[in-house]
A and B are shown apart, each in its own frame.
Chain A
C-alpha cells in the first residue's frame, strides 16, 4: 500500500494561487465583516464571533502541522490547554497584561510541544501521532491532578478583562485582531523559505534533504509553530471564558480541530477559516435541531456530546474519502477552477 508516485508535485503549494486581486478583496471583505459584527449582531453573535476567531487561530495552527507539513497531531487541544493554563497562571499570580499572557501561552505551548515532538520527529512514520495522543492523556492528567497549581477539576477562575473600557465588544476586537494577524502571518509564512520547506518535506523528505533542507528541524519548527498557535488560542480562550478547567481540553476537542482542518481543507489558510467557521457553528445548529426534534423530557445534554463525537468523526471520514480538499474544493469549483493535477494533489 505504498502511495503511488504519479501524483506530480508540480506546484509547490498544492493548489494554484488565487488571483491576487480576488484575494485582496476577500481579505478586505473579511476584515469589514469582522469589524461590523458588534454593530449589527446581538450579544450572542459577538460571543460566537469570539469563539470562531479563537477556533480559527487553533485550526490554522493545526493546519500548519497537519496540512502543510504532513505531520499528524491528534492532541492539539492539550496544547491549547498548556497555553490557557500558562496565561491564566501568569495573570492570576503576576497580573501581567493580556498581550504578555498571549506570548507566554504561545511560548509555553511551543516548549511543551517540543518535549513531545523531539523524540517522535526524529523517526519516520506515525510516531508523532502516538506522541501527541500520549500528550493528550498525560497533559489532561497533569491539569487534573496537579491541584496546587491548576486547581484540579474545578480549574482556575479569572477576573473579567476590560479592554479600553469597551467590555465584551472591546475584547472581541482584540480577539479578532489577533486572529487576523495570526492568519495573515500563516499565509505569508508559506511564501518564505521556512514555509516552503514544510511543503517540500511533506511531499518527499528525501528530495527535500537533497535540496539542503534539514528535515528534522523543519518538522520540529512546523510542529512547534502549530503548538504555539494552539497556545495563543488557549490563552485567548482562557481570557474569553474566564475559566480554565481540564474538561475543556479532552480528546473530543482534539477531534474537533482535526475535523476542522479536514473539513476546511488541508494545506489551505482559507480552508482553516472555513473549517473553523463550519465546526463552531455546527454544534449550535445541532443543538437547535435536537431541541426541535426531541420528545419532552429527553436529556439534551446527554444526547449532544455523543452526537458530536459521531458527527466530528464522520466528517473526518467522509471528507477524506469523498472530498479530500475539503470545503476549499467546493470553493474552487464554484470559482470555476476546474480539477487538474495540481488541484487534485493530496498530501
Chain B
C-alpha cells in the first residue's frame, strides 16, 4: 500500500507538467480555434532557449530563465504573426497542417543547433528527497510539481481576473461580438500565443530539469493531447484534473505492468475518450457527431 501511495504521488507530480503544456494548448484553441500540433516542439525549443542562456552563455539561471521564457514567447508570437495570420479564414485543416509543419521545422532547428544528444540542465531544483511519513518523493519531481502548480495558479488568476484574460474569454465565446465590442482580436491572438509560449517553455524546463533535454522532448505531445482530449479541449479547469489523472495512470501502469505498457496509455485515453465522450469530461459540447 505504501508503495502504491508512493507511485501515486510520483504519478501526480509528473502529471503536473502535463497540466502546463495542456493549458498552453487550450488557451490557443480557445482564443484562436487553432489546434496546435506544435505544442510539444514549442516545449522542447523553450527548454533549449533556457539551456542556451543559462549554461551555454553562462548567464546564471535567473537571467537565463527570464531570457529563455521571453524568447519562447517571442517565438510563439512569430509563429502566429508570420505563419498563421496570413491563413485566417482558410479551412481548418490548412491551419492544422501548418502547425504540424511548424513542429517539424522547430524539431529540425533544435537538431541542427544542439544535436541529438542529451543536454543536462543545471541543478536549480533541490535534489533532496521529501519524506511524507514512509513515502519518499524525489526532490526534483516534488519541487517541479510545486513550481508547475504555482505557475498554473498564476495563469488561472490572470485568465480569470485580468482585463486581457477577459478579452481572451470573450473572444473564445464569440469572435464577432467580441470584435464589435471593441476587443482587438489580433492582439488577443498574439497574447494567447505568447502565453502559450511561456507555458510550454515553463513545462519543458521543469520536465527537462529531471531528465535533461533532447530534440525528442516534443514527443511528450501525445500525452499532452491525451490530457487535452480527456479534459475536453476547451476546459481550463478540466485540464488540471485530466493532467493529474493521466500522469497518475501512466506511473501506476508503468510500475505494475512494465514501462512498455506505459506508452500505450496516452493512446488508450484518446481512444476511449473518442468512443465514449468525444467532448471530454468538462468540454463544451462543440463537438458534433455525424
Q: Does B267 sit within 8 A of A, measured CB to CB?
A: yes
B residues less than 8 Å from A71 (CB atoms): 93
B229 and A130 form a contact (CB under 8 A): yes
A126 and B101 form a contact (CB under 8 A): no
Q: Does A129 sit within 8 A of B, measured CB to CB?
A: yes
Using CB atoms, name the residue of chain B closest to A71: B93
B105 and A72 form a contact (CB under 8 A): no
B108 and A124 form a contact (CB under 8 A): no
Q: Does A226 sit within 8 A of B, measured CB to CB?
A: no
A residues less than 8 Å from B111 (CB atoms): 305-306, 309
B290 and A308 form a contact (CB under 8 A): no
Report the minimal beta-carbon distance from B47 to chain A, rounded to whole angstroms: 17
A residues less than 8 Å from B108 (CB atoms): 306-311, 313
Using CB atoms, name the residue of chain A closest to B264: A138
* Bound-complex Cα distance A4 to B92 (A): 11
Using CB atoms, name the residue of chain B closest to A72: B93
Q: Does A166 sit within 8 A of B, measured CB to CB?
A: no
Report the minimal beta-carbon distance from B13 to chain A, rounded to whole angstroms: 23
Which chain B residues numbered 266 to 289 have a C-beta less than 8 Å away from chain A?
Answer: 266-267, 270-271, 274-275, 278, 287-289
Report the minimal beta-carbon distance from A92 to chain B, rounded to whole angstroms: 24
Range, interface on chain B: 35 or more
Whether A309 contacts B104 in the complex (CB less than 8 A), given A3-B92, A262-B97, comes out as yes
B271 and A119 form a contact (CB under 8 A): yes
B97 and A320 form a contact (CB under 8 A): yes
Report the minimal beta-carbon distance from A270 to chain B, rounded to whole angstroms: 20
- Tally of A interface residues using CB under 8 Å: 54
A1 and B88 form a contact (CB under 8 A): yes
Whether A320 contacts B87 in the complex (CB less than 8 A), given A126-B35, A137-B219, A314-B105, comes out as yes
A141 and B263 form a contact (CB under 8 A): yes
Whether A346 contacts B37 in the complex (CB less than 8 A), given A123-B288, A312-B104, comes out as no
Classify the interface of chain B: helix, strand, loop or mixed.
helix
Q: Does B133 sit within 8 A of A, measured CB to CB?
A: no
Using CB atoms, name the residue of chain B closest to A256: B104
B residues less than 8 Å from A303 (CB atoms): 112
A residues less than 8 Å from B225 (CB atoms): 130, 133-134
Using CB atoms, name the residue of chain B closest to A4: B89
Q: Does A178 sit within 8 A of B, measured CB to CB?
A: no
Report the minimal beta-carbon distance from A121 to chain B, rounded to whole angstroms: 8
Q: Does B96 sit within 8 A of A, measured CB to CB?
A: yes
Q: Does B86 sit within 8 A of A, measured CB to CB?
A: yes
B residues less than 8 Å from A168 (CB atoms): none
Report the minimal beta-carbon distance from B70 to chain A, rounded to whole angstroms: 23
Q: Does B157 sit within 8 A of A, measured CB to CB?
A: no
B105 and A3 form a contact (CB under 8 A): no
Q: Which listed residue, B94, B219, B267, touches A324 by the CB 8 Å rule?
A: B94
B222 and A134 form a contact (CB under 8 A): yes
Report the minimal beta-carbon distance from B196 to chain A, rounded to whole angstroms: 16
Q: Which listed residue, B104, B109, B112, touches A316 by the CB 8 Å rule?
A: B104
* Bound-complex Cα distance A255 to B101 (A): 8
Whether A306 contacts B107 in the complex (CB less than 8 A), given A137-B219, A317-B102, comes out as yes
B residues less than 8 Å from A258 (CB atoms): 97, 100-101
